[in-house]
Amino acid sequence: METTRHFVATVYVVSDGAVALHEHDKLEMWLPAGGHIDRDELPHEAALRETREELGLDVELVAPKEGIESETVRSIPQPQHFLLEDINVDASGAVGHQHIDFIFYGAVESRDIDPGPGEQPAEDWGWFTPEALQANGDRFPADVIEVGQRAIAAVDGR
């Protein structure tokens, strides 16, 4: 059977040494902001849009951008990671579909979360330091802990 794959963009939003996470309603796990890339969007545009919708925050992406330019090409912000994620895995181990995830890091000054209409409420979000991520190893997926810690280090170290 053919596996359906969707392109998504995720942003590990960092402020003052902590990353924003929420418990995702459908997937029932703690995750950063993100979602599907619309047909007319580039990955970094989707990352900015999803963060604006879910957190009500405008982030500065911490993303390398090469200086390759010509009449027909231009460089765009590069994600920090590309991940292939199995979604909707059933009891037999069959994968419902997969996400090809463009993972970005983002910096914000404010921790004042103000989600857009239809998004999870602000009180469902939390800010987690590297120590808090590690302490929640039983609640958070291992990749969220690892990438969250890397995002904090990258944003704080710039």
Domain tally, the chain = 1
Question: Tokens 């604006």 — which residue?
Answer: 52
Is pLDDT at 26 greater than 80 in this prediction? Answer: no
Return the pLDDT at 71: 94
Rounded Cα distance between 122 and 108, Å, is: 16
| Torsion angles phi and psi, residue 134, rounded to 5 | -65, -40
- Residue 34 pLDDT > 70: yes
CATH number of the domain to which 97 belongs? 3.90.79.10
Q: In residues, how long is the chain?
A: 158
Q: Each residue of 8-24: b (16+ CB within 10 Å) or e? A: bbbbbbbbeebbbbbee
Please write the tens of the pLDDT for every residue from 101-153.
999 999 999 999 999 999 999 999 999 999 999 999 999 999 999 999 999 99
Q: Are the C-beta atoms of 151 and 19 separated by less than 8 Å?
A: yes
Cβ 103 vs Cβ 10: under 8 Å: yes
Which pLDDT tens digit goes with each residue over 81-105? 999 999 878 888 888 889 999 999 9
The pLDDT of residue 55: 97
Over residues 30-42, mean pLDDT: 96
Structural domain boundaries, residue 44: 5-156
How far, CA to CA in Å, does 36 sit from each of 9, 47, 99?
A: 6, 9, 9
Q: Is the pLDDT of residue 72 over 70?
A: yes
Instruction: Give yes or no for a contact between 121 and 115, defined as CB atoms under 8 angstroms apart.
Output: yes
